[in-house]
Amino acid sequence: MLELTKEEMYCLIPLCERHLDVQLWACVEGNMGRAWVDRKNKPAIAMIVVADFCYLLGCTEEKSDILAIKELLEQFKRKIIISYSNYGIPVIKEYFPNNHKSCSRYAIKKEPEIFQRDKLKSYIDVVEAKFYIEKIDESNYNMVLEDEFMADCCCYYSSLEEFLKNGIGYVIIHEGEIIAGASSYSYCKGSIDITIGTKKEYRQKGLALACASKLILDCLDKNIYPRWDAANLESVALAEKLGYHFEKEYEVYSIY
């Protein structure tokens, strides 16, 4: 397998064009991640790694390709593996029989016109009566980056400058601690992928809902679509409160 430079990522387009994942297009555009292909001229297969995700794409029956993918996967244990291929799941099950696991994730529909601004503003108003929601910028970027729970809000950007140019995020800081936030986990042209969280002792207060509402309203003002992909049913329920609709459950894998 050959690793692509940022300038060569365009060759991934035929393998990615049927998929909407922001992480994939973040890599295709050279914004984030790394990618390997069997050949640089019209590749038949590819492996793309962006943040916590690993994508397997294309079709092959070649034993040499299968072994090359297996060797690459060994370097990226504990990534969330999504297979858009004919070989991904067989490789995992054959070569990692005792050290892999699978779990469900939940796809959310892409519907640009669904958001109700008044409802989103009402979620913000309830929380801002007690907590201040602040935008991630140069004043708090390092604090977010150094917070183990909230670092995903900006840790996959190469610098503050890149985040300020391409990222969007909001956090709630209470008594010197970040307690909730919502941000752009990754980005591509016209879209971001949302990461969101609230620390355990502050849950059930609408904090994540309010931060996400701020984020979505900002995206709407900038003509950016805020993609949501849920790791659990609680995330699905939160997405539905914001106006999103569930699409389907799908299976992902990881190697440990």
Structure tokens at 211: 């931060």
**Look-up: residue for tokens 């050290």?**
99
Instruction: Kindly indicate the confidence band of residue 80, based on its pLDDT and cuts at 50, 70 and 90.
Output: very high
Q: What is the CATH number of domain 108-248?
A: 3.40.630.30
Report how far residue 35's alpha carbon sits from residue 50's, in angstroms, rounded to the nearest whole number.
Answer: 9
Q: How far is CA 131 from CA 85, 98, 170, 206, 239, in A?
A: 46, 47, 12, 11, 21
- The residue ranges of every structural domain in the chain are 2-98, 108-248
Q: How far is CA 34 from CA 206, 230, 237, in A?
A: 36, 23, 32
- E strand residue ranges, 92-176: 100-108, 133-135, 169-174
145-197 pLDDT tens trace:
999 999 999 999 999 999 999 999 999 999 999 999 999 999 999 999 999 99
189-242 pLDDT tens trace:
999 999 999 999 999 999 999 999 999 999 999 999 999 999 999 999 999 999
